[in-house]
Amino acid sequence: MIAQTPEPPYYAVIFTSERTALEEGYEETATRMVALAKEQPGFLGVESSRTEIGITVSYWKDLEAIKHWKMNMEHSVARAKGRTDWYSTFKVRIAKVERDYEFEK
């Protein structure tokens, strides 16, 4: 589902990853992280897709909201588990969205 975001500007955190073969606990943690992010002040939405690489884009009101999400203890534990078990590589990019537009049939 495409996230419904407000009028720009807002911020996008783009998380691109390649997984290891280990599945144990991954799906549950990923689901929990989305639920937890939705509770955070400044969270605007999320989109995610996975084939050979995974791309998750979360949208945030401002850089302060992103900082608070990164400092969330449960999120920190999940990030550590991702480094040790679930990801062979990942990259995080933070971008300011200055313009958006859409099409719908």
> For residue range 46-67, what is the model confidence (pLDDT) as tens digits?
999 999 999 999 999 999 999 9
- Measure the CA–CA gap between 65 and 14, rounded to whole angstroms: 15
- Measure the CA–CA gap between 69 and 39, rounded to whole angstroms: 10
- Sorted by where each begins, the domain ranges of the chain are 10-55+67-97
Topology of domain 10-55+67-97 in CATH is Alpha-Beta Plaits (3.30.70)
- Measure the CA–CA gap between 3 and 89, rounded to whole angstroms: 26
What confidence score (pLDDT) does residue 9 get? 98
| pTM of the complete model | 0.94
What confidence score (pLDDT) does residue 59 get? 98
The two three-digit tokens of residue 34, written as one number: 């989305």
